A and B are shown apart, each in its own frame.
Chain A
Amino acid sequence: MPILEVNDLHIYYGMIHALRGISFTVEQGEIVTLLGANGAGKSTTLRAISGLIPKTEGEIIFEGEELGKIPAHQIVGRGLSQVPEGRRIFATLSVEENLLLGAYLRKNKKEIRKDLHYVYKLFPRLLERKNQRGGNLSGGEQQMLAMGRGLISRPKLLLLDEPSMGLAPILVREIFNTIREINQQGTTVLLVEQNAALALDLADRAYVLETGEVSVEGDAKTLAQDSRIRRAYLGA
Chain B
Amino acid sequence: MLNLKGPQGRWNFFMIAGILGLYGLIQLLAAAKILLSYHLQILSLACINIILVVSLNLIMGFTGQFSLGHAGFLAIGAYLSASLTVFYQLPFWLALIASGLAAAFVGVLIGLPALRLRGDYLAIATLGFGEIIRVIILNISAVGGPRGFTGIPRHTTFGLTYFLMIAAVVIIKNFIYSAHGRACISIREDETAAGSLGINTTYYKVVAFAIGAMFAGVAGALFSHYMQFISPTTGQIGFMRSVDILIMLVLGGLGNLTGSVVVAVFLTFLPEFLRGFAEYRMLIYPVLLLLMMLFRPEGLMGKTELSYSYLENIFSKFKRKGLRPDGTN
| Residues of A in contact with B (beta carbons under 8 Å apart) | 50, 52, 71-77, 81-82, 84, 88-93, 97, 100-102, 104-105, 149-150, 153
Contact = CB atoms under 8 A, between A and B. Distances in A.
Interface in B197-213: 197-201
Interface string B182-222: 11011001101111111111000000000000000000000
B142 interface: no
Contacts of B323: none
Contact of A101 (B186, B192, B201): B186
Contacts of A88: 190, 192-193
Interface in B236-292: 255
Nearest to A93: B185
Interface in B87-120: none
Contacts of A72: 195-196, 198
B192 A73 contact: no
B198 A76 contact: yes
Name the interface size band of chain B: 10 to 19
Contacts of A90: 185-186, 189-190, 193-194
B183 A104 contact: yes
A100 B182 CA distance: 9
Interface of B: 179, 182-183, 185-186, 189-190, 192-201, 255, 303
Contacts of A52: 192, 195-196
A81 B200 contact: no
Given A71-B200, A73-B200, A104-B179, A93 B186 contact: yes
A100 B255 CA distance: 20
Given A72-B198, A81-B197, A153-B198, 9 more contacts: A50-B196, A73-B199, A84-B196, A89-B190, A90-B185, A90-B193, A92-B185, A100-B182, A101-B197
Nearest to A80: B198
The 6 closest A-B pairs by CB, nearest first: A76-B198, A88-B193, A90-B189, A73-B200, A105-B198, A73-B198
Nearest to A92: B189
28 contacts: A50-B196, A52-B196, A72-B195, A74-B198, A76-B197, A77-B198, A81-B196, A81-B197, A82-B196, A84-B192, A89-B190, A89-B193, A90-B185, A90-B190, A92-B185, A93-B182, A93-B185, A93-B186, A93-B189, A101-B182, A101-B186, A102-B197, A104-B182, A104-B183, A104-B197, A104-B198, A150-B197, A153-B198
B177 to A, nearest CB: 10
